[in-house]
Structure 1
Amino acid sequence: MSFVYISDEQVRSLLSMHDCINAMQQAMSATSKRDINVPPRMYFSPFDDESSYFGLMPGSSQSLRYYGTKILSEHRDNPRKGLPTIQGGVLLFNRESGTPVALIDGASITEIRTAAASALATDILAKPNAKRCGVFGTGVQAVAHIDAINIIRPLDEVLIFGRNYDKAVMFASVQSQRTGLNVRATNQAEEAAACDIVCTVTSAKTPVLRGEWVQPGAHVNLVGAYSKNTREADSQLILESAVYVDFLDSCYNEAGDILIPLNEGAIARDHVLGEIGQVINNEVLGRQNDQQITLYKSLGFVAQDLFAGQLILDRLSAN
């Protein structure tokens, strides 16, 4: 195969959410078996004011025919210019020869695999009869999470909460028409938080979700915060939940949702029960009863990009 650039449109046509959920199961299982070689990610600011960042996230796996790296830029002022905050791609190399094979659009693969990983965790941890989903946020991940969660738990109702209620109403209307689901906005965070499944996909730096709002038996996916100083959930929710993560090393280095309550003394280090891949591999127990609150903290991990990338290339070759 000669070197190819795989665009946003191609990624979306080649990588279905259903297939990506299956790929995430392989990725997270391999991660917890440590069948993944992942050096520390490199992240630095090209500018003195640290308003923007550039990142490299390399990795490889014996399970894959390709190794590679995710390359991305983060320019926080971009939304005011009508541009995405994060841009980049996944660069893949042939494992045997080292030949560059493909550069895959980064925004689309990240959008799909992030929601697919949440759906995988939800399928494993949520109650089988969960039918109502509360979504905090109105961006691309909110769209992707509605699609992904509905695949593994057919939803009777989706509640949308956003900082701007008018925007949330418009978003809910569009998603209802797009999906045929009962999607509606609420201006009460407590109402969205009282659902069977709760997904936070915001850019918030301080908690938008409080433990007192979440009902016994719920499952929560925390997705939006990805630095040690930011979080979407308060310490009470973390304390009251059975907590699982994608990769323990990243969790204890970068997950403010875990690190802040840990530093406060609200939880001990062993409060995190393990990785979602360890549950898949039957090394760690999942949900124990219908009253337990389960919580999956997602940071994203290069294994997810590599397994999704190989699936995209397989589909491209088949076509």
Structure 2
Amino acid sequence: MSIRIVNAAEVRQLLPMDECVDAMEPAMVAASTGTIAIPPRLISPLIDETGFYALMPGSSAELGNYGAKVISLHPGNPAAGRPAIQGFVTLFDHVTGAPVAIVEGAEVTAIRTAAASGLATRLLAREDASSCGIFGTGVQAVTHIDAMCAVRQVSEIVVWGRDFDRAAAFAEEQAVRTGLPVRATQQAEEAGSCDLVCTVTGSPEPILKGEWVRDGAHVNLVGAHARTTREADSALIARGVLYVDLMESCRNEGGDFMIPLDEGVIAEEAIVGELGQLCCGEIPGRDNAGQVTIYNSLGMTAQDLFAARHVYDKARELDVGIEAQF
């Protein structure tokens, strides 16, 4: 028995953004149609409370694999020059039960999260969307720039971060990397008034106001992952046509939509449905140029498994990674 091991650099090589956006469509459809089983995730704090580890399993006969993402989070690591999040996605053969792959997890997560936003943008944004506002300066800001550029002809990128010097340095780096005009702003409203807006800050309080967002914009809300936190204010949610990755996750963890719902600002019917349902044509997408469409991303195991399977298939095809006897 052999198992293929793929490291972070190899994941970047094998999972370009445009291919990952395409891979997210069957992942989202599988989640919405129930052809992938997604048990509850296990999140366990360490005994000394210095961090936690998480296990996120899933099983898909259609994909031909089951497996899990296993990650650790040590908040103190960056101060020592180590990544805060580390881990891997493991794949097993659905028929034989043999373990077939271990794929570095942080890179898969970074790419697939942005790729899901890219899929939402491809389905919901206006075709002529060209300016992109990014709230945040971390890894997800980088991958979301790539995702937006993969699905629309982006001609300008505006970056806002709480630390302007860091945002300015980030913008300069991204301008060199992408060859596009990228600039930092101290006025969050500038980033919030672009055609495409992505919030990837992890802020517990709103950093994007509805009054800033132009008619016809598409917004990806990515950084808030608890029912009590949000990146957008209620005024924006009240304006928008709302989509989620999974309704169950949204009810449990989606503060961006659930807080306005609890406030009575929106009714549950304001949430049109899941991205997978949109892919299947079960629910409507944008129906006029002035609508503000909003995708709330919380992430799910289906995205990890479908992305990891794409990496695994290409790794075998191109003989990338280590083939270890197990």
TM-score bracket, normalised by the shorter chain, equals: over 0.9
Q: Which runs of 5+ in 1 are unaligned?
A: none
Alpha-carbon distance in 1 for matches of 2:220, 2:43: 25
Aligned residues: 318
Query: What per-residue deviation string (whole Å, max 9, x for no partner) do you get for residues 214-271 of structure 1?
Result: 1111000001111112111111111111010111111111111122222222222222
Q: Which runs of 5+ in 2 are unaligned?
A: 319-326
Which has the higher mean CA deviation after the structures are superposed, 208-217 or 257-266? 257-266
Aligned to 1:2: 2
Structural mapping, 1:179-198, within 5 Å: 179-198=178-197
Aligned to 1:295: 294
Query: What per-residue deviation string (whole Å, max 9, x for no partner) do you get for residues 155-213 of structure 1?
Result: 11000000011111111111101110011111100010000000001121111111111
Letter of the structure 2 residue corresponding to residue 76 of structure 1 = P
Aligned to 1:164: 163
Q: Does 1:212 align with 2:236?
A: no
Contact 1:11 1:108 in 2 (8 A): yes
Query: What per-residue deviation string (whole Å, max 9, x for no partner) do you get for residues 2-24 of structure 1?
Result: 11221001111111111111100
Q: Does 1:30 align with 2:30?
A: yes
Could you tell me how far 1:273 is from its partner in structure 2?
0.7
Alpha-carbon distance in 2 for matches of 1:135, 1:41: 29
Aligned to 1:266: 265
Letter of the structure 1 residue corresponding to residue 38 of structure 2 = V
Letter of the structure 2 residue corresponding to residue 10 of structure 1 = E
RMSD of the TM alignment (CA)?
A: 1.2
Could you tell me how far 1:83 is from its partner in structure 2?
2.3
Which has the higher mean CA deviation after the structures are superposed, 40-49 or 179-188? 40-49
Classify the secondary structure of the residue corresponding to 2:2. coil
- The higher-RCO structure (CA 8 Å, 6+ apart) is 2
Contact 2:118 2:147 in 1 (8 A): yes
Alpha-carbon distance in 2 for matches of 1:268, 1:84: 40
Q: TM-score, normalised by structure 1?
A: 0.97
Contact 2:158 2:185 in 1 (8 A): yes
Alpha-carbon distance in 1 for matches of 2:301, 2:62: 14
Could you tell me how far 1:74 is from its partner in structure 2?
1.7
Which has the higher mean CA deviation after the structures are superposed, 75-84 or 303-312? 75-84
Aligned to 1:222: 221
Q: Does 1:19 align with 2:3?
A: no
Which has the higher mean CA deviation after the structures are superposed, 96-105 or 185-194? 96-105
Aligned to 1:235: 234
Alpha-carbon distance in 2 for matches of 1:67, 1:190: 44
Structural mapping, 1:60-79, within 5 Å: 60-79=59-78
Alpha-carbon distance in 1 for matches of 2:55, 2:208: 31
Letter of the structure 2 residue corresponding to residue 307 of structure 1 = F
Classify the secondary structure of the residue corresponding to 1:37. coil
Aligned to 2:47: 47
Query: What per-residue deviation string (whole Å, max 9, x for no partner) do you get for residues 111-166 of structure 1?
Result: 11111111110010000000000000011111111111111101110000000111
Aligned to 2:278: 279
Contact 2:45 2:51 in 1 (8 A): yes
